[in-house]
Amino acid sequence: MVRESPYRWVIVAAGGLLGCIAVGAMFSLPVLLRPVSEDTGWSVTGISMAMTIGFLVMAFASMFWGAVTDRFGPRPVVLTGSVILAVALTFSARAESLFAFQSWFGFAIGLGVAAIFVPMMACVTGWFETQRSLAVSLVSAGMGTAPFTMSPLVAWLGTYNDWRTTLLIVAGIVAVVMIPVSFLVRRAPALDASAIAPAAETAVPKATAPETTVPEMTVGQAVRTPQFIILMLTNFFCCATHSGPIFHTVSYAVACGIPMIAAVTIYSLEGIAGLGGRVAFGILGDKLGARNVLAGGLLLQSAGALGFVFVSELGGFYAVAGFFGFIYAGIMPLYAVLARENFPLRMMGTVIGGTAMAGGFGMALGPIGGGWIYDTFGGYFWLYVGACAMGIGAFLTALTFRPFARPTAASPAITAVS
């Protein structure tokens, strides 16, 4: 049994706080969508495009930041991302054209958030050998607190300030909190000890060898395996399922006649439910296996997305949003757990970055797709039907995932140290 450092819980706390503020900063746009449109005259589709650009940039940047994390460690990457976020929010608030707004809130913020999410997920998996699903879920839970911490704060600020001032205040929060917290992040001790050299990983003393072993492979071999490709495809369909409902929930509720402040509480309830879902699914993942829990959750997620079609009153929104938030938030950390169980620790940044890249492409569909559907059809019915179809696709893809066969004593293997 590996003796695990108590500092691993500091990593969990730092990751949760960094993720909360970063995600909250990015998802301030759904709260400010209508104020921005009314003040500037820009279309809902055009403003929503900023989020789509952000998700696309996150997708492309995730694997890049993951590889940089594998090479230099998570701290410099997370610090860089925090600085980028503060600068991007500041210039987004000063944008005088839709193109400038899309560039700063889309490209730059997407780049910054990717530099938080992937490194922290990769980092925490390296600190834990036991309770890994729970630890990853707790970091994700921190990110999931954004809807009932940052979003209400943004809504409250937007009540007393214009959207530009609100974004400037959020930029200040990012700078004052995230930059100092970034210095708490450390590379997993096992990677420091081995200097992330493959040869060192194979030569770990028996006294410190952990319980989990994975097949020996290079990064090039890893990204060509069916396991990696299936994880990417599953995450793509999964994120395509919930991105539209997440982004357009507030706007949909307002279109149904619900006041803005009340509509934001729907989003907040979704986040609160997601906090419970992350913890519950983390515990279930440790007990029942991450792959099994993920597949079941994906099927439930598709049903939850379709549920929005049948609601128009505040009570109905609360019920569906609570269920949907509990499920989609709960399943997301399980991708990192599956990656850690099947690939060497020294390439966690690259592997998790690759799955996050696919998820970013899926997330990019929701904002622009929902905006186009609303502008074209005057409602969101087809958004939720399409999201349900994507969810079924994610479920079917997940069923095809097969873990690597564990190496025998006679076969070479990389021992993944935590």
In a domain, 135, yes or no: yes
Residue 54 maps to which CATH number?
A: 1.20.1250.20
Q: Total structural domains in the chain?
A: 1
Name 256's Cβ contacts closer than 8 Å, sequence gap at least 6: 312, 313, 317
In a domain, 1, yes or no: no
Residue 135 has pLDDT above 60, yes or no: yes
- In this prediction, residue 205 carries a pLDDT of 39
CB 185 within 8 A of CB 14: yes
- The backbone region for 378, taken as left when phi is positive above 0, alpha when psi lies in -120 to 50, beta otherwise, is left
* pLDDT tens profile 342-371: 888 778 888 888 888 888 888 878 877 888
Residue 318 has pLDDT above 70, yes or no: yes
Task: State the pLDDT confidence band at 130, using cuts at 50, 70 and 90.
Answer: confident
In a domain, 241, yes or no: yes
CA dist 353 and 277 (Å) reads 23
In a domain, 195, yes or no: no
- In this prediction, residue 178 carries a pLDDT of 94
pLDDT greater at residue 254 or residue 211: 254
* pLDDT tens profile 258-276: 987 788 788 778 878 888 8
Residue-by-residue DSSP string for 74-110? HHHHHHHHHHHHHHHHHHHHT--SHHHHIIIIIIIHH
- What are the structure tokens assigned to 351, written together? 């592997």
In a domain, 287, yes or no: yes
**CA quadruple 337, 338, 339, 343: dihedral, nearest 10:** 120
In a domain, 198, yes or no: no
In a domain, 197, yes or no: no
Burial environment of residue 202 by CB neighbours within 10 A (0 to 12, 13 to 18, 19 or more): middle
Residue 383 has pLDDT above 90, yes or no: yes
* pLDDT tens profile 159-210: 888 899 999 999 999 999 999 999 998 887 766 554 444 444 433 333 333 4
Q: To the nearest whole percent, how much of the chain has pLDDT over 90?
A: 33
In a domain, 2, yes or no: no
CA dist 32 and 42 (Å) reads 13
- What are the structure tokens assigned to 231, written together? 């994880």
CB 74 within 8 A of CB 122: yes
Cα 410 to its chain centre, rounded Å, is 39
What's the domain range around 227?
A: 8-190+207-415
Burial environment of residue 203 by CB neighbours within 10 A (0 to 12, 13 to 18, 19 or more): exposed
